[in-house]
């Protein structure tokens, strides 16, 4: 099987009930990134100056040189911006994404964070790019970030967010740290579990849309009103979903040097006032949400076809299409991955093989199906699935008259079309099956062949839903 590692499904239609404390309709989670003093700078041993997320349009790294304007913009964040944001948020539970080397250069700011009771999560060792690092180098950076964070803050971090990450970051962070959550994802409005670093790791998705970083990019916010409006609209949409019974998490990302500017801070203040005018709003740290989620929704191990070898896959799904394991064998060879680890995903794989098969092959699948209430049923020779399905609508308890009627219809239908009458009995009753029998027996063969194939796919779909408990 060709593995496609991305999970494009997530919770799908089965969004879990968040059960936020006190019946809250929404969880509002605010992150303040503390990066000032950890950005690219030759003073920090880097090859060039910083070029990311500043007021300088089209900024470029200056190899081997310090960049006075860039440095002073970052210094604004630590000298003025932090304190302005602190005054707005000091009474709200928020999370700091603290870069370890930046925290080491900010004793007064760190003391203020701790006095406010804010969670201080790790934002890595330095605010630099990680995509080109070797696994060994990035692992060493994570280890040193945890060590330095623990030394500077006094406690180890329970949350991790690299931000400028690599394809190895989540696995490495999960393996190296005892984290309640890793936040390097933007994939959902709710926390979710994944396998990373050899264990079940809770992922707390972050945001790039409700994020003041959009003041520092060309396709972003140009004034505070746009930022405020976007935060309010995001809140209102999620709040309405919570009122409708599906509470979510609103994640907001802030930076001292960006939202700390007066015009932007005023927009943040107005957005906060809007949030607070509503009842049932839970302001929480990411740590609090992660602990709540782990308690309410611990990881559950279900069927994971993407982890199966071929023999296991065929053993598990070879009987879904009646007596046709070749369909499961073909499905195993198709591209699949975590997004197929559900009834819909496996059904799509199996159905693709069935639909692409020759007419003779599909006819073989049709003829593998037993007659309804026929001789095989009477002899007790049906598959377990067929036995349960027929019994579910009472076809195992027919009167002599009903059995005779089914036998006559079966014989007439099979003689006309060359395959048995097939219908998804779980969608029907005994009476509706008889009605369909009488109606379909007058079809032409092409029409009925197509209908029988659709019914075979539907039977497989229902069997998989039962197998996956959905």
Structure tokens at 445: 């063969």
pLDDT, residue 412, reads 92
Q: Is 311 exposed, middle or buried (0-12, 13-18, 19+ CB in 10 A)?
A: exposed
DSSP 218-232: TTS--SHHHHHHHHH
Average pLDDT over residues 51-79: 79
Residue positions annotated with a catalytic role: 369
Residue 376 has pLDDT above 50, yes or no: no
- The rounded percent of the chain whose pLDDT value lies above 70 is 91
Whether 96 and 30 have beta carbons less than 8 Å apart is answered as: no
SS (H, E, C) 287-348: HHHHHHHHHHCCCCCCCCHHHCCHHHHHHHHCCCCCCCHHHHHHHHCCCECHHHCCHHHHHH
Instruction: Compute the distance between CA of residue 143 and CA of residue 154 in angstroms, rounded to an integer.
Output: 16
DSSP 211-267: BGGGGSSTTS--SHHHHHHHHHHHHHHHHHHHHTT--EEEEEEEEHHHHTSHHHHHH
- Split at pLDDT 50, 70, 90, the class of 69 is confident
Residue 198 gets which letter from DSSP? T
Average pLDDT over residues 200-219: 85
- Per-residue pLDDT tens digits for 108-142: 999 999 999 999 999 999 888 899 999 999 999 99
- Per-residue pLDDT tens digits for 251-271: 999 999 889 999 989 999 999
Sorted by sequence, the CB contacts under 8 Å of residue 37 that are 6+ apart come out as: 74, 78, 99, 101, 102, 105, 106
**Beta 199-203 vs 192-196: how paired, if at all?**
antiparallel
pLDDT, residue 379, reads 41
Average pLDDT over residues 345-355: 97
Q: How large is the angle between the packed helices 262-276 and 82-89, nearest 10 degrees?
A: 10
Residue in this structure with the two tokens 């972003």, named with its chain if needed? 220
- Per-residue pLDDT tens digits for 143-188: 999 999 999 999 999 999 999 899 999 999 999 989 999 999 999 9
- Split at pLDDT 50, 70, 90, the class of 42 is confident
Residue 427 gets which letter from DSSP? G
Whether 188 and 205 have beta carbons less than 8 Å apart is answered as: yes
- Split at pLDDT 50, 70, 90, the class of 215 is confident
- Split at pLDDT 50, 70, 90, the class of 302 is confident
Q: What is the CB-side half-sphere exposure of residue 406 using CA atoms within 13 A? A: 27
- The rounded percent of the chain whose pLDDT value lies above 90 is 68
Residue 278 has pLDDT above 50, yes or no: yes
Residue in this structure with the two tokens 């948020």, named with its chain if needed? 89
pLDDT, residue 139, reads 96
Predicted TM-score (pTM) of this structure? 0.86
| Cα distance from N-terminal residue to C-terminal residue, the chain | 24
- Per-residue pLDDT tens digits for 319-348: 999 999 999 999 999 999 999 999 999 999
- Split at pLDDT 50, 70, 90, the class of 220 is confident
Residue 218 has pLDDT above 90, yes or no: no
Q: Out of 165-169, 173-177, 298-302, 397-401, pick the least confident.
A: 397-401
Phi, psi of 66 (to 5 degrees): -85, 155
For the chain, what is the mean pLDDT?
90
Of the ranges 2-6, 9-13, 253-257, the best mean pLDDT one? 253-257
Beta bridge partners of 33: 97, 255
Average pLDDT over residues 8-25: 93
Q: Is 302 exposed, middle or buried (0-12, 13-18, 19+ CB in 10 A)?
A: exposed
């Amino acid at each position: 099987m060709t593995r496609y590692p991305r999970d494009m499904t997530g919770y799908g239609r089965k969004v879990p009930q968040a059960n936020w404390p006190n019946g809250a309709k929404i969880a509002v989670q605010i992150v303040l990134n503390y990066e000032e003093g950890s950005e690219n700078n030759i003073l920090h041993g880097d090859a060039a100056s910083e070029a990311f997320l500043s007021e300088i349009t089209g900024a470029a790294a200056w190899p081997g040189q310090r960049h006075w304007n860039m440095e002073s913009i970052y210094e604004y964040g630590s000298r003025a911006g932090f304190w302005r944001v602190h005054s707005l948020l000091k009474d709200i539970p928020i999370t700091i994404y603290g870069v370890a080397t930046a925290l080491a250069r900010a004793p007064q700011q760190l003391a203020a964070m701790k006095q406010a009771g804010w969670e201080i999560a790790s934002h890595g060792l330095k605010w630099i790019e990680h995509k080109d690092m070797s696994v060994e180098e990035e692992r060493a950076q994570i280890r040193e970030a945890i060590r330095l964070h623990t030394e500077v803050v006094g406690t180890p971090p329970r949350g991790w967010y690299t931000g400028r990450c690599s394809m190895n970051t989540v696995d490495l962070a999960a393996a190296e740290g005892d984290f309640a959550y890793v936040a390097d994802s933007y994939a959902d409005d709710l926390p979710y579990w994944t396998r990373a670093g050899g264990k079940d790791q809770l992922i707390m998705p972050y945001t790039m849309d409700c994020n003041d970083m959009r003041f520092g990019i060309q396709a972003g916010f140009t004034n505070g009103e746009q930022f405020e409006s976007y935060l309010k609209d995001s809140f209102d949409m999620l709040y309405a979903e919570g009122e409708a019974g599906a509470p979510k998490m609103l994640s907001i990302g802030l930076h001292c040097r960006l939202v700390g500017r007066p015009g932007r801070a005023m927009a943040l203040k107005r957005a906060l006032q809007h949030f607070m005018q509503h009842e049932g709003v839970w302001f929480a740290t990411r740590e609090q949400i992660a602990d709540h989620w782990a308690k309410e929704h611990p990881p559950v191990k279900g069927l994971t076809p993407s982890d199966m070898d071929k023999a296991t896959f065929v053993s598990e799904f070879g009987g879904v299409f009646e007596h046709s394991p070749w369909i499961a064998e073909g499905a195993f060879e198709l591209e699949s991955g975590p997004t197929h680890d559900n009834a819909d995903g496996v059904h799509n794989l199996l159905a693709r093989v069935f639909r692409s098969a020759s007419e003779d092959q599909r006819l073989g699948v049709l003829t593998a199906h037993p007659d309804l209430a026929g001789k095989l049923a009477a002899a007790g020779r049906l598959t377990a699935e067929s036995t349960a399905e027929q019994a579910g609508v009472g076809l195992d308890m027919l009167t002599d008259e009903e059995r005779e009627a089914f036998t006559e219809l079966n014989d007439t239908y099979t003689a006309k079309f060359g395959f048995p009458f097939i219908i998804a009995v779980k969608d029907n009753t005994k009476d509706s099956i008889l009605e369909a029998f009488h109606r379909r027996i007058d079809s032409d063969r092409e029409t009925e062949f197509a209908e029988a194939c659709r019914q075979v796919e539907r039977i497989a779909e229902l069997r998989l839903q039962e197998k996956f408990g959905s």
